[in-house]
Amino acid sequence: MDFLWIVLSLGLGLFLGWKRILPGFVNNWIGPIINIALILLLFAMGAQMGGDREILTQLDRIGLHAFCLAVGSILGSLLMVKLFWKEDTNLPEMAEGNKTQQENPKGGGFLLLLIILALGLGGLSGFFIPGLWFNYLDQAVIYALALLLLGIGLDLGRDPRLIKNIFRAGGKNLLLPLWIALGSIVGAVLTGFLIGLAGFEAAAVGAGFGWYSLSAVIISGVYNVELGTLAFLTNISREVLAILTLPLVAKILGQGATIAPGGATSMDVTLPLIKKVAGNRYVLPAFISGATLSLMVPLLVSLFIWLAGFF
């Protein structure tokens, strides 16, 4: 049932944004709604972490496992892209004016600071919240998560340039995010096997594709906070490692491979660096790959979590 309402929330947002059914002034509120819902969810996640003494005592272990999973996801995506992706060399460059002007829900600058602050304050409050209140907190997480996914769907669906750019991408480049997704998930599952993490749980963490905030709150909200914490640290590690290693990736594996490490963040956070180290010709496939992976994150994470609970 959790997987169903996650799909419905995201799908409804995409439909309403695409059809432009809502009044125009609603567009001005989409970004703030996404950020507010995200901050509330991360505060709740922090409170759950703070209220669980066992997680706090194992943060060093969780951090080490997160780093290993991030490395495994990046290596898996690089391997799949290098082996199977044949880029479209006739692809036109993407003009600056054709990029979507969305709020960046994944992180960056001031929002990242708010995310850390929300987690920290939530963690402190977890020491003082009576156990009975956690039942209400769990309910609030469900509603806030639905609101967040609705807002993300609206944000992606309202911009027709996104669809136009997808059609411009060409068949070969549309396969790129699929290879990145498959490599990330397989890399995470194999790494999870080495560190003693169940297959579907590792797959759910790997399916965050670098979108640390969304993957973490979905897992914490519908599964458990320990795996949500692991997902948060894994995917934020992936983003940081991508930023640090892109020049080296371009030098060793080629310019096209630079799209793989950032995963979903290649449409925003890591896009400027991809442009710098790989050139303008890779901006469009990087953007399309990041946008496609961003749409896949809530669907795949919730699917793997459902499978983890079922099996």
pLDDT, tens digit, 9 for 90 and up, residues 128-161: 765 556 566 666 777 777 887 788 788 877 766 6
Provide DSSP, 21-43. -S-GGGHHHHHHHHHHHHHHHHH
What is the per-residue burial (b if ≥16 Cβ within 10 Å, else e) of 209-234? bbbbbbbbbbbbbbbbbbbbbbbbbb
Q: What is the DSSP letter of 258?
A: G
Torsion of CA 219, 110, 239, 267, to 10 degrees: 90
What is the CB-side half-sphere exposure of residue 258 using CA atoms within 13 A?
A: 31
Neighbours of 59 (CB within 10 A): 13
Residue 93 has pLDDT above 60, yes or no: no
Residues 6+ apart with CB under 8 A from 259: 81, 176, 180, 266, 274, 278, 282, 285, 286, 289
Q: Residues 207-257: pLDDT tens digits?
A: 999 998 888 989 988 888 899 999 999 998 998 899 899 999 999 999 999
Does residue 100 have a pLDDT over 60?
no
From residue 302, alpha-carbon distances to 81, 102, 206 in Å are 25, 24, 12
User: What pLDDT sits at residue 35?
Assistant: 80
Neighbours of 201 (CB within 10 A): 24
What pLDDT was estimated at residue 102? 46
Q: How far is the C-alpha of 155 from the C-alpha of 31, rounded, in Å?
A: 8
Give the integer Cα–Cα distance in Å for 255 and 274. Answer: 8
The pLDDT assigned to 17 comes to: 83
pLDDT in tens, 17-63: 878 888 877 778 888 888 888 788 778 777 776 766 667 678 889 99
Q: What is the pLDDT of residue 171?
A: 62
Residue position matching structure tokens 């998560």: 145
**Number of structural domains in the chain:** 1
Amino acid 311 reads F
Per the model's pLDDT, the better-predicted residue between 206 and 267 turns out to be 206
- Domain of residue 33, CATH code: 1.20.1530
Asked if pLDDT for residue 182 goes beyond 70, the answer is: yes
Enclosing domain of residue 118: 2-310
Please compute, for residue 152, the number of CA atoms within 13 A of its CA located in the half-sphere on the CB side: 28
pTM: 0.80
Average pLDDT over all residues of the chain: 82
